[in-house]
Amino acid sequence: MAYRVLIVDDSPAMRAFVRRVMELSGFDLSDCFEASDGAEALTLLRSEWVDAILTDINMPRMDGEEFLKQLAADDLLRSIPAIVISTDATEARITRLTALGARGYVTKPFLPEQLREVLEHTLGVPDAE
């Protein structure tokens, strides 16, 4: 099964990197959408269904925390798993974002296979073996 993923990050370079890493890692990606902040992501999600969201925290306009709150408050969107990608690996931040609804957390720097593992775990992809 191939998956549709939305990347939310204000850095175009980081969005391009995450997309590349998903492809390099062998993750089964069918469509990849991009948004530069939470507000743009919410607009996009009104017209495109995705299987998973990869989101940054520090973004202008609507940051990752507010984006997770808005997702959790939306009857249609709350079932989409959101995974945070961030440089912030502090326990306090991870606990807070998990409480807001993040279903996975990837700390930068990460290896391609680490991103794939978290994505597949979150999506319930069965092991290949």
Partner 1 sequence: MPNSELGRALRESTVDVLEKMFFAQPLEEPAGDLPGAVLAVKLAFEGAPSGALTLTVTEDAARQIAADFLGEDESEISGRRVEEVTCELANMICGSVLSRVESQATFRLASPQLLAAEAWRLDPHPGEARVVHSVALEKGKLTAVMETH
Chain residues binding partner 1 by CB under 8 A are 11-14, 16-17, 20, 24, 58, 60, 86-93, 96, 107-111
Q: Looking at the DSSP assignment, which residues form a beta bridge with residue 83?
A: 54, 104
Cα–Cα distance between 112 and 49 in angstroms, integer?
A: 24
Q: Provide, rounded to whole angstroms, the least separation between the CB of residue 46 and partner 1.
A: 28
Q: Provide, rounded to whole angstroms, the least separation between the CB of residue 102 and partner 1.
A: 15
Q: Which residue has the tokens 């980081």?
A: 14
Cα–Cα distance between 117 and 82 in angstroms, integer?
A: 14
Q: Residue 18 or 41: which CB sits closer to partner 1?
A: 18
Q: Residue 1 or 13: which CB sits closer to partner 1?
A: 13
Q: Which residues contact 101 (CB under 8 A, 6 or more apart)?
A: 68, 69, 71, 72, 78, 82
Q: Residue 51 or 65: which CB sits closer to partner 1?
A: 65
Q: Provide, rounded to whole angstroms, the least separation between the CB of residue 84 and partner 1.
A: 13
Q: Provide, rounded to whole angstroms, the least separation between the CB of residue 58 and partner 1.
A: 6
Q: Residue 62 or 77: which CB sits closer to partner 1?
A: 62
Q: Looking at the DSSP assignment, which residues form a beta bridge with residue 104?
A: 83
Encoded tokens for 60 = 């202008």
